[in-house]
Amino acid sequence: AQSVTQLDSQVPVFEEAPVELRCNYSSSVSVYLFWYVQYPNQGLQLLLKYLSGSTLVESINGFEAEFNKSQTSFHLRKPSVHISDTAEYFCAVLDTGRRALTFGSGTRLQVQP
């Protein structure tokens, strides 16, 4: 069975500081990994995904994540955060057989001025 562990439930950070949200996965098959963001009272928005190829994937709003097979990790990073990045972030792995996402418990990013 696949599983995802997000090691930090909350990450407070000051505006313009760098941030890393940690995600480790467990899977016995090919891995497809995702980061989603959820703003208050909204659904999930896809930030970025790893399907294959380059281990470093980037989003249009400055986030990036690196797939590390040996460490079974897919950490999310941003070099300089903004107040508007305050949200909850979910790491997920896709079960291709069931076409179902298994999510981590989420990390609440709190950007302070």
Partner 1 sequence: KAGVTQTPRYLIKTRGQQVTLSCSPISGHRSVSWYQQTPGQGLQFLFEYFSETQRNKGNFPGRFSGRQFSNSRSEMNVSTLELGDSALYLCASIPGLAGYNEQFFGPGTRLTVL
Query: Where on the chain is the footprint of partner 1 (CB under 8 A)?
Result: 32, 34, 36, 41-46, 49, 51, 90, 92, 94, 96-106
Lookup: tokens for 52: 């294959």
What the block records as the tokens of 39 is 């703003």
Least distance from partner 1 to the Cβ atom of residue 78, Å? 20
User: Cβ closer to partner 1: 47 or 81?
Assistant: 47
Rounded to a whole number of angstroms, the minimum distance from the CB of residue 103 to partner 1 is 4
- Residue 78 burial class via C-beta count within 10 angstroms: exposed 0-12, middle 13-18, buried 19 and up: buried
CB of 85 to partner 1, least distance (A): 19
- Residue (9 or 84) nearer to partner 1, CB: 9
**Residue (of 20, 18, 21) closest to 105 by Cα position:** 21
Choice between 69 and 99, CB closer to partner 1: 99
Angle, vertex CA 26, rays to CA 43 and CA 13, nearest 5: 50
